[in-house]
Amino acid sequence: MATWVIVFLIGAGSFFVFKLLYVLAAGGTLPVTKGALFVSTSSVRLRAFLDTVAMRPEELLVDLGCGDGRVLRAAHRRYGVRALGIEINPLAFGMARVLAAASKGVHVKWGSFWSINLGEADVVFCYLFPDVLKRLVRKLEGELRPGTRVVSCNFSLPGWQPHEVLRPGSSRDPIYVYRFPEGCGAGRQPRPKEITQKSRSDKEP
């Protein structure tokens, strides 16, 4: 059998196994994630978040449903922050742990973030579906300290008024930035400023 055929079969087989594991991992977490899949945050959107939400080395960033952990690693590289990711998808968790192995300030825990108290967080990052965000708002209001910043990709937090709305590059998908407890369930507030940022290369920051 030709070498290229063997290489092709190995590559195709590996891809099939990965996709199978992806489906099984996502299916097993549906009761918790409400259908949200493991999707990596794009470099353009990640850069917009880091450019807008400056952090200090002593601060703690918590990513709820951290996927492969790229938000944690990028924030740690840029600001030196302590970064904690919570991930219930076993495939994503395994990837995040491996990729974060060389970063001492980045930690990834397997499990549900509902069991984690967010009282020590300085920044909370999430990319979750609206059904999950409704419940998350109650958790945030009960645990966050004043001054904590909350970043939600694509979907706004019900009842909260964002401090800023980012629309990086040509993306129509917004990134909502909040400062707790400003605008928390406060109803009508002044319209938040929207920031449209020019797109750059898609290389990870």
Q: How many residues does the chain have?
A: 205
List pLDDT tens digits, range 61-74. Answer: 999 999 999 999 99
pLDDT under 50: residue ranges of the chain: 5, 8, 12-30, 33-35, 186-190, 199-204
Helix (H) or strand (E) holding 152: strand 149-153
pLDDT the model gives residue 15: 35
Strands 106-110 and 193-197 turn out to be unpaired
pLDDT the model gives residue 154: 93
Distance of CA 53 to the CA centre of its chain: 14
* Percent of the chain scoring above 90 in pLDDT: 61
pLDDT the model gives residue 198: 52
List pLDDT tens digits, range 100-140. Answer: 998 899 999 999 999 999 999 999 999 999 999 999 999 99
* Percent of the chain scoring above 70 in pLDDT: 71
Distance of CA 148 to the CA centre of its chain: 16
CA 118, CA 94: separation in Å to the nearest integer? Answer: 23
Whether the model clears a pTM of 0.85, i.e. scores above it, the answer is no
